[in-house]
C-alpha cells in the first residue's frame, strides 16, 4: 500500500502519481463562477462537457459556440477534454425524431463527421456511442437498445460510428460508454454478459473501440462495497485489451439517513470502494465525476431525497468546500499501484 504521509494537495496530483486523469463534467455557465474556475484548475486534469457537445445542444443547424468555449478554456489551461457524446438516443434533435431512416442516417453521419473534424487533435477521448444496451429483458437477443441509430443503420451502427471517428481523429481514445454495468441485480448481470458479447463481436470485426466507459451513477445504500461480479467483468474487459474510464461518477444519498455526518460517510465509502475496485481490476485511464459540487448536481432534480433535504453526491459541497468524498477519492488514487 502506498504511503499517505506525503499527501498531494489535489485530486489532480493524486491521480497523476499513477498516470491517471481526474476530471469533472462542466458547463459553460460554470466557467463564469470565479471560485469554481479556480477549483477546477486546481483539482482537474480533464473536463467533460456536460451538455455542450450533445447533438440536441449543437442542433441540426450546428452551433458549436458553447463547445468551442469549453475546448478553448481547456487548451488555455492545459486540460484534457473528453467529448461527450457523439451518438446517444437521448440527444437526438427534435426535428429528426420523425425523419425517415435514410434522412436520419445521413444526418447522424453528418453530425459525427462535422463534430469530430472540428475538434480533431484537441480531444483526449470521445464517447462515440453512449448507452447502446437496453435496460429490460425481452428485446433483441443481442441486447441492443431500440434507437433511431439502430433503426436507420442496423446493428452495425456502432462499427460505423467508431470507424468514422478513428479516421477523423486517430489520436483520440474512442469510448463505448454504458450505464448500469456497476450494479448488483439480475438486470445488471445480464447487461454485463451482453456487454462482453458485444465487445467480443465488435473487436473480432475490427471495430476500433479503445475503451469501455463505466458511467457509475451509484447509490450510497444499494451499491455493494465488495462486488465480485464487477471484478470478474472488469478482468474480462482487461483481457480483451481494452482500457476503462469512469465517466460520470456520482453517489446518490437519496436513501441515506438525514444526518449529514452519516450521509457523507456512506457516500464517501462508496466512492472509495468503487474507485479502488475499478483501479485494481482494469487498465484505467481516467476518473470523471459528474460535476464537482453538490449545488450543480443533476441529482437535485433527477433523484431528490424524499425528506426534501439537499442532496450531497459530489466531492465538494454547495459552498465549494471539500467533503469526505473528496478525501475518499484521493485515498483511492494513492492506494492504486
| Ordered per-residue pLDDT tens for the chain, 337 residues | 444 456 789 999 999 998 999 999 999 999 999 999 999 999 999 999 999 999 999 999 999 999 999 999 999 999 999 999 999 999 999 999 999 999 999 999 999 999 999 999 999 999 999 999 998 888 899 999 999 999 999 999 999 999 999 999 999 999 999 999 999 999 999 999 999 999 999 999 999 999 999 999 999 999 998 999 999 999 999 999 999 999 999 999 999 999 999 999 999 999 999 999 999 999 999 999 999 999 999 999 999 999 999 999 999 999 999 999 999 999 999 997 6
CATH for 11-335? Answer: 3.20.20.80
What pTM does this model have? 0.96
Residue ranges per domain, the chain? 11-335
Q: Which among 290, 304, 271 has a CA at the least distance from the CA of 215?
A: 290
Cα–Cα distance between 85 and 103 in angstroms, integer?
A: 21
Torsional sign, CA 38, 40, 41, 42: positive
CA distances (Å), origin 196, targets 189, 200, 282, 307: 11, 6, 14, 39
Amino acid at each position: 500500500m502506498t504511503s499517505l504521509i506525503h499527501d498531494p494537495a489535489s485530486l489532480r496530483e493524486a491521480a497523476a502519481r499513477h498516470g491517471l486523469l481526474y476530471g469533472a463534467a462542466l458547463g459553460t455557465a460554470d466557467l463564469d463562477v470565479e471560485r469554481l474556475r479556480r477549483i477546477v484548475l486546481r483539482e482537474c486534469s480533464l473536463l467533460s462537457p456536460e451538455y455542450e457537445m450533445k447533438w440536441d445542444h449543437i442542433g441540426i443547424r450546428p452551433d458549436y459556440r458553447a463547445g468551442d468555449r469549453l475546448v478553448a478554456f481547456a487548451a488555455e489551461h492545459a486540460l484534457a477534454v473528453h467529448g461527450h457524446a457523439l451518438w446517444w438516443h437521448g440527444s437526438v434533435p427534435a426535428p429528426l425524431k420523425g425523419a425517415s431512416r435514410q434522412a436520419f442516417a445521413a444526418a447522424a453521419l453528418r453530425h459525427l463527421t462535422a463534430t469530430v473534424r472540428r475538434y480533431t487533435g484537441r480531444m483526449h477521448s470521445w464517447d462515440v456511442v453512449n448507452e447502446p444496451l437496453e435496460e429490460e429483458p425481452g428485446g433483441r437477443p443481442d441486447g441492443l437498445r431500440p434507437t433511431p441509430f439502430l433503426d436507420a443503420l442496423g446493428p452495425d451502427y456502432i462499427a460505423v460510428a467508431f470507424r468514422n471517428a478513428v479516421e477523423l481523429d486517430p489520436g483520440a481514445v474512442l469510448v463505448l460508454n454504458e450505464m448500469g454495468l456497476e450494479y448488483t441485480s439480475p438486470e445488471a448481470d445480464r447487461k454485463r454478459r451482453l456487454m462482453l458479447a458485444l465487445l467480443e463481436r465488435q473487436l473480432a470485426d475490427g471495430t476500433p473501440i479503445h475503451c469501455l466507459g463505466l458511467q457509475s451513477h451509484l447509490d450510497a445504500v444499494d451499491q455493494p462495497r465488495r462486488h465480485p461480479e464487477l471484478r470478474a467483468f472488469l478482468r474480462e474487459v482487461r483481457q480483451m485489451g481494452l482500457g476503462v474510464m469512469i465517466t460520470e461518477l456520482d453517489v446518490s444519498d437519496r436513501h441515506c439517513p438525514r444526518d449529514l455526518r452519516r450521509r457523507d460517510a456512506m457516500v464517501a465509502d462508496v466512492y472509495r470502494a468503487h474507485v479502488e475496485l475499478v483501479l485494481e481490476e482494469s487498465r484505467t485511464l481516467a476518473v470523471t465525476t459528474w460535476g464537482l459540487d453538490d449545488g450543480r448536481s443533476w441529482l437535485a432534480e433527477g433523484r431528490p431525497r424524499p425528506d426534501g433535504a439537499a442532496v450531497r453526491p459530489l466531492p465538494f459541497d454547495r459552498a465549494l468546500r471539500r467533503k469526505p468524498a473528496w478525501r475518499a477519492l484521493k485515498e483511492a488514487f494513492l492506494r492504486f499501484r
